[in-house]
Structure 1
Amino acid sequence: MPNSKGRKRRFGSIRKLPSGRFQARYPDPDGLFRTAPETFATQTDADRWLVRKEAEIIEGRWQNPDDKILFGTYANAWFKDRDYAATTRERNGSALRLHILPTFRDVNIGDISTAQIRRWRTTLLEAGVGEPTVVKAYQILRAIMNTAVDDGLIQRNPCRIKGAGVTKTAERPFLTVPEVFRLADAVPDRYRMLILLAAFTSLRFGELAALQRHDVDLDRRVVSVRRAAAETRTDGLLVKTPKSAAGIRTVAFPASLVGDLRAHLSEHAQAGRNGLVFVGPRGGTLRRNNFRRLWLRALAAAGLEGVHFHDLRHTGNTLAATGGATTRELMHRMGHSSVRAALIYQHLVNGRDQEIADHVDQQIRKAQDPDGPSGT
C-alpha cells in the first residue's frame, strides 16, 4: 500500500489520516495486515515504529496482539508477589485499587501507551487527587510495567513521563538541641525519653515503641533495634522484625542521656527483661493514635507547631552529619537498606558510632549549660 507521499515501503505502510495524524500498518508473520494500536504525530514517528516492529518479527520477539493479557489480571498477580511490609502493602494496595485499576483493569497490557498514561495522570490531578498520591500511583504503575518488560510481555515501558515519579515536597525542618529539650519537657514525663532517643539516635517511632528492656545497654550506651511496631487498618497492630537486614542494628546514644534513661527504666518501663521501654496509656504497646494528642499539645506548648515526629529522626541525622559521619555511618544509624551488607560488616568496627554519639553529647551539654567553658 503506498504511503502518504506515494512511495511504497519495503515493510508495512503509512497513511495520513484526515485528522493530520499518521497510521501505520504491517504484515504479521502469517501475512495478516495489522494496524498499530496508536496513531503518530509525524510520519517519521510512524516509520520508526514500523522499523522496530519489523525487527521484532525478524528476531522472533513479535507477540500476537490477539493474545490478550489484561492489565488487571497481571497487576493483581504482581502485587501478590511483592514482599512488602504491612504498612507499605496497605498503602500501595490502596493506590493500585483506587487509582490505577479503574482505568487500566480491562486494557490489554500490550496496548497501554505513554499517551494513555499521560491522560490518566492528568485526569487524576484534575479530579483533585493529591500530587503525592498521584506520584505513588505512577511509581507503582511504572514498577508493574517494568516487570512486564522483564517478562517479555512488552518491549518498552510506556511510563516515560519526565518528573511524574518524583514528589515535590518542602524541606522538612530539623530542631536545634534546645528545641528538642523544650519539646521533651512539654510531654508527660513517661514520654520524655521517647523524644530524646528519637532525636539523638534517629530511631523511628515504631522502633521505639517496640524497644524492650534488654535492648538497652546503659554501660555500652547503645540501643539494639530488633523489631518494630506497625499499624494497618486490616491487620491492626503488628510487631515484627525489620524487613531489611540493615534495620536490625545497634545505635549508640549520648552519655548525657544515661542517667535520665536509667530513671525512665526504673519508673516508667514495663517490668521484666522483655518489658516495653515505652508504654501506652493503658499499659500496652504505645500507638501513634494514642500519642498524637499528647504530641500536638506538646508542640503548642513548646512553640513548635508544624513539626512531625519523623522530623526528630531528621534532626538526629543532621546532628550526626555535623559530627562528620560518613554516608555509610548515617545509613547505619538510620537502618537504611541500601548497601546493607557493607553497613553490617562495618558495625562499630572503627568506633565512629561512639564518636558520633559523643558529638551529639557535646551539643546537649552546651545547651544545658550555656555558661560553661564551651559557652563562655
Structure 2
Amino acid sequence: MADKRRRFGSIRKRESGRYQVRYPGPDGLLRSAPDTFVRKSDAERFLTMIEAQMMRGEWVDPVRTEIRLKDYAERWITQRPNLRPRTVALYRWTLTKHITPYLGGVPLGKLSTALVREWRANLLTDGVSVSGAAKAYRLLRAVLMTAVNEDELLRKNPCRISGADQERAAERPTLTLHEVFALVDEMPDRYRALVLVAAFGCLRWGEVAALQRKDVDLEAGVVRVRQSLVEVRGEPLTVGPPKSRAGRRQVTLPPAIVSAVADHLAAYVVDDPEAFVFTGSTGRLIWRGNFNQLVSWSDAVTKIGRRGLHFHDLRHTGNTLAASTGASLRDLMARMGHDSPAAALIYQHATSQSDRAIADALGAAIDKARPRQDPDDGAAGVGAVVS
C-alpha cells in the first residue's frame, strides 16, 4: 500500500515485505529507485536524499546512467576532438585490452571507487605492468571526467585512487658524445645523418622521418618541423601534424651536423622541395620497425656497449645535452617542442644534479689543497688558499 502522506515521492510495501520507492523527476515522469529496501526508514532516507539533490541541482537521471561503460568509452574516443590517429589506436587498444574485459558491461551509474580499485588490483594480479595499469587508469579517468563535467551523467568521478596514475617508469639511458658518434659509425652511410639530426636536433622519430628538402635551410643551419610521420598498425603510413602545437618549430643544428646533412642531401635526395630527406634505397618513406631492420639497430647498439637502447633515446640524449648548456626553461621547451614545462624541468633537474656534483668535487679539491688549520690560528683556511 502506498504512503500518501509524503510530500515528495511515494513508498509502497510489496508482498515480499520490502519497500518500493517512486518519485517524480523534474520532467514530471515517475522514476523508481534502483533497489527495494528492507526497512521503511531506509526508503524514506533515500527519498529525502533524492529530493535534496534535485533542490541543489545535483540530481542525475538514473535512466541516463544505464549506458554501459564500453559503449560510452567507445563513443568518447570517436567524438574526442583533435586526437592523432596513433593516439586513437592506442586508446582503442587499451580500452579493449585492459578496461572492457573487466568493466565494459557495467552501467556508468553503477561504477564506484571500490569497483575501480578492484579493477586495478585485478589488472596487476593478471600480470599487467604498473605502467600499463597507470595508462589504463588515466584513460578511464579521462572518460569518466567527461561524464561528470560535460555530459553530467555522474556526480563525481569514481577514479579517486591515490597514485594509480603514476607509472614509475625506469629512466631512459642517454649517450655520451663519444657514444653518439660511435653509433653513427655503425650505421649504413644512408642513415648516418638521420641519427645525427635526431640526436642533436632533439627530434622525435615521426618528426625526423617526415622532413622534406624544403624543411632544411643549410645556409641558416636549421630544420623546420612542420609535420610528423604517423604509424598505425595495419594502416598505410601517413603524414600529419606534429604531436602538439608546440611541435611546430624551427631547430638550429650544430655546424658539424649541418655539414653532414648537406652531404646527405647531395648523395641521397633528389633536387625537389617536396622530396623526403630520409628514405629507403627505393626512395619510399621508412617506418620505425623497418628502419631498425635496415640498420641492424640491435647489433649496432650492442657493439657500442648500449644494448637495449631505443631510437627515442637519441632525443633523450639531445635534450640532456641541450640542458647541460645552461639553456633556459623556455628555450628548452621551444627546442623540444613541448607545450608544458614538465618535461624540460626533468632535464634541467638532471643538469642541476650534475652541477651539484661539480660543486662537491670542487669542494673536495679545496679541502685537499688548503693547509691544515692550527687550532690557535683562526685566520688560516680557505682564505689563505684563495688569496
Partner of 2:268: 268
Q: With structure 1 as the length reference, what TM-score do the two structures score?
A: 0.75
Counterpart of 1:316, as a letter, is: G
Shift of 1:49: 10
Instruction: Provide structure 1 residue ranges, at least 5 long, that are not aligned to the other structure.
Output: 1-10, 12-24, 38-47, 340-376
SS in 2 for 1:62: coil
* Structure ranking higher on relative contact order (CA contacts 8 Å, 6+ apart): 1
In the alignment, the residues of structure 2 paired with residue 32 and residue 264 of structure 1 have an alpha-carbon distance, to the nearest angstrom, of 72
- Kept in 2, the 8 Å contact 1:280–1:287? The answer is no
Q: Which amino acid aligns with 1:211?
A: L
Q: Matches of residues 51-70 of structure 1 in structure 2 within 5 Å?
A: 55-67=52-64, 68-70=66-68
Distance 1:298 1:159 in 2: 44
Name the TM-score, length of structure 2 as normaliser: 0.73
8 Å Cα contact 2:69/2:104 also seen in 1: yes
1:259 aligns with 2:256: no
The residue that corresponds to 2:210 in the other structure is 210
Rg larger in structure: 2
Query: Paired residue for 1:345?
Result: none
Displacement of 1:208: 0.9
2:172 maps to amino acid: R
Q: Note the alpha carbon deviations across 1:272-294, whole angstroms, 9 max, x for none.
A: 22222111243211221121132
- Percent identity between the two aligned chains: 45
For 1:332-347, list aligned pairs within 5 A.
332-338=334-340
Question: Any idea what the Cα deviations from partners look like across 1:38-80, whole Å, max 9, x if unmatched?
Answer: xxxxxxxxxx999976641331322343442322222221110
Q: Distance in 2 between matches of 1:156 and 1:52?
A: 16
Q: Which residue of 2 aligns with 1:366?
A: none
| C-alpha deviation, 1:26, in angstroms | 8.7
Change (3 A) 1:218 1:123: same
Compared with structure 1, are the counterparts of its residues 36 and 312 closer, same or farther at alpha carbon in structure 2 (3 Å cutoff)? farther
Tell me what 1:88 maps to.
87
Q: How does 1:30-41 map to 2 (within 5 A)?
A: 34=33
User: Where does the alignment leave 5 or more consecutive residues of structure 2 unmatched?
Assistant: 1-7, 9-19, 37-44, 342-387
The offset of 1:194, in angstroms, is 1.0
Aligned to 1:79: 77
**Does the Cα contact within 8 Å between 1:229 and 1:237 map onto a contact in 2?**
yes
Instruction: Answer whether contact 2:215 2:225 (CA < 8 A) is retained.
Output: yes
Counterpart in the other structure of 1:155: 155
Tell me the equivalent position of 2:186. 186
User: SS state of the match for residue 250, structure 1?
Assistant: strand
Deviations 1:78-104 (A, max 9, x none): 110123111111111111122212232
Counterpart secondary structure, 2:251: strand
Aligned positions, number: 307
Instruction: Give the aligned residue type for 2:74.
Output: N
How far apart are the structure 2 equivalents of 1:66 and 1:88? 32
CA contact (8 A) 1:29 1:57 kept: no
Task: Tell me which residue corresponds to 1:313.
Answer: 315
